[in-house]
Amino acid sequence: MRFLIIGGSDAGISAALRAREIAPGIEVTVVLADAFPNFSICGLPFFLSGETPDWRTLAHRTEFEGIELMMNCAARTISFEDRSVEIAVQDGRKTLRYDRLLIATGAHPAMPQISGLNLEGVYPLHTMENSFRIQEHLNRGVRSAVLVGAGYIGLEMADALVHRGMIVTLVGRSEAVLSTVDADFGRIVEKELGRRGVAIQSGTEVTAIEKAGALLRVRGASGFSAEAEIVIVAPGVSPNTQLVANSGLELGEKGAIRVNRRMETSQPNVYAAGDCVETWHRILERNTYLPLGTTSHKQGRVAGENAVGGDRQFEGVLGTQVVKVFDLAIGRTGLRETEAQDAGFSPITASTGSFDHKAYYPGAQEILTKVTGDRNTGRLLGAQMIGHWQASVAKRLDVFATALFNRMAVDDLNDVDLSYTPPLGSPWDVVQLAAQKWTTRQSSPVSVY
């Protein structure tokens, strides 16, 4: 049996490895448009900061026994009827046959409608090639940058460029940076950025980039203007589905490939996984588009197992995310209150601040936590956390994610047997103190206006 995979990033390589684990005798071929299989795109800001000086270390894994890699070969057309894929190779075109096919083409940047994006010194950041071009420009000794986009990549790049000693301006459209968390948490992040010298311009739509002598000028709404030697655009992403746009394959939300929970598409023997597909949301109980590296790995593993005769379901996502910005770690899982309300729940949210370990042991840091749950059922719906990056914010967020995965009530968290020692925690952990604050709020009388 030949298992053909289009795409060699998280989903594609995870599928290839899982298929070989289960069925070592099958023929696995991975076609990828670049020369960077299995590289961590999430690590690019740390390569550009100099904290990860060798880009080669971003590879998750470099040896693939029994897996044929066809690099720098772009898939052009798919014939589902003939079970074949035509690819562009160095000396022309080649047709590959398959018994099972996985489409794992990922996402591409959803570039904003801004004039001047093609100017010298203006770069998107999404691929390894992008990072090499940016690194080459930075190595010319530039000292100033404007970052367009205040999401995860924009924030990590602000950190990275300050680490290099640069003057940084960060421009974003949302009310506060990091629109995936509530605005008050975003404003805490803005204070940390400001403390490190980053100029923040939130709530601003960039409209143009233009030459200004030896510099670049970024213009935006309400008269905003900033000049720098380099401009890096860090937008969101869209599913990369041009390959199948007119193939008859069913597409769904935002043009992503529609799959079931076995990662099967509308065509027989054809699977899809990663940032090019819809994603089953465990709380909403429907498909959505939520591209994340962790999700791509899981979906690829499911697809690879099922392609060789397995029977596994993708169990869904919660939208668990975390980012480090200088000394802060900020994360979320599940639904925010507005999202829960839109989904038909009756949400209430409680906020609390607690030390990450016993205050009498040196170095205690406060973690701010928001817990959202359903007032009527007590079910946990989501959590947001922010605190010092060494205060185990991410792992505590994972406790909430585990509870959400198992559809626990908020109050159930108080019964979980969590670890404790004074240098690392408290008898009631931050997670449990936040849960107790929520249950107190739930039992409070509803205000009537």
Q: What is the CATH number of the domain that holds 95?
A: 3.50.50.60
Average pLDDT over residues 242-259: 94
Residue 280 CA to residue 295 CA, distance in Å, equals 10
Domain boundary among 258, 280, 307: 307
Give pLDDT, residue 446.
56
Domain boundary among 276, 307, 338: 307
345 and 263, same structural domain? no
Residue 120 CA to residue 115 CA, distance in Å, equals 13
Residue 28 CA to residue 370 CA, distance in Å, equals 46
244 and 225, same structural domain? no
Contact 31, 15 (CB under 8 A): no
List for the chain the helix, strand, coil content (%; round to 5): 30, 30, 40
- Residue 448: pLDDT band by 50, 70, 90 thresholds? very low
438 and 406, same structural domain? yes
Domain boundary among 257, 273, 307: 307
User: Could you report the per-residue pLDDT of 20-65, keeping only the tens digit for each?
Assistant: 999 999 999 999 999 999 888 899 999 999 999 999 999 887 778 9
Give pLDDT, residue 449.
35
The DSSP letter of residue 53 is -
256 and 228, same structural domain? no
Q: What is the pTM of this model?
A: 0.94
Q: Is residue 302 included in any domain, yes or no?
A: yes
242 and 102, same structural domain? yes
Bridge partners, 96 (sequence order): 85
Give pLDDT, residue 294.
95
Q: Is residue 448 included in any domain, yes or no?
A: no
- Please compute, for residue 130, the number of CA atoms within 13 A of its CA located in the half-sphere on the CB side: 17
Contact 161, 45 (CB under 8 A): no
Q: Is residue 6 included in any domain, yes or no?
A: yes
Strand order in the sheet with 2-6: 67-70, 27-31, 2-6, 100-103, 270-272
Q: Specify burial of residue 129 (Cβ count, 10 A radius: 0-12, 13-18, 19+).
A: exposed
Contact 329, 386 (CB under 8 A): yes
Average pLDDT over residues 436-443: 95
Residue 51 CA to residue 159 CA, distance in Å, equals 11
Catalytic residue at 42? Answer: yes
58 and 36, same structural domain? yes
333 and 292, same structural domain? no
Is the pLDDT reported for residue 245 higher than 70? yes
CB-based contacts of 402, cutoff 8 Å, min separation 6:
none
Q: What is the DSSP string of 392-440?
A: -HHHHHHHHHHHHHTT-BGGGGGGS-----TTT--SS-HHHHHHHHHHH
299 and 199, same structural domain? no
- Please compute, for residue 431, the number of CA atoms within 13 A of its CA located in the half-sphere on the CB side: 29
Residue 264 CA to residue 243 CA, distance in Å, equals 17
Average pLDDT over residues 7-16: 96
Residue type, 26: I
* Length of the chain (residues): 449
Domain that holds residue 395: 321-443
User: Could you report the per-residue pLDDT of 406-427, keeping only the tens digit for each?
Assistant: 999 999 999 999 999 999 999 9
167 and 254, same structural domain? no
- Which residue carries 């000394």 as its tokens? 327
User: Could you report the per-residue pLDDT of 195-227, keeping only the tens digit for each?
Assistant: 999 999 999 999 999 999 999 999 998 899 999
Residue 193 CA to residue 73 CA, distance in Å, equals 41
54 and 16, same structural domain? yes
390 and 367, same structural domain? yes
What's the total number of domains in the chain? 3
Q: Give how far the C-alpha of residue 237 lies from the chain's centroid of Cα atoms, to the nearest Å.
A: 10
Residue type, 342: D
Average pLDDT over residues 111-138: 95
User: Could you report the per-residue pLDDT of 268-324, keeping only the tens digit for each?
Assistant: 999 999 999 999 999 999 999 999 999 999 999 999 999 999 999 999 999 999 999
Q: Is residue 403 included in any domain, yes or no?
A: yes
Q: Is residue 315 included in any domain, yes or no?
A: no
Give pLDDT, residue 385.
98
Residue of 59, 62, 70, 64 lying closest to 34 (CA atoms): 70
- List the catalytic residue out of 22, 26, 42, 199: 42
Q: What is the CA radius of gyration of the chain?
A: 23
Give pLDDT, residue 78.
96
Give pLDDT, residue 445.
66
Is the pLDDT reported for residue 189 higher than 70? yes
Return the biggest CA–CA distance within the chain: 74
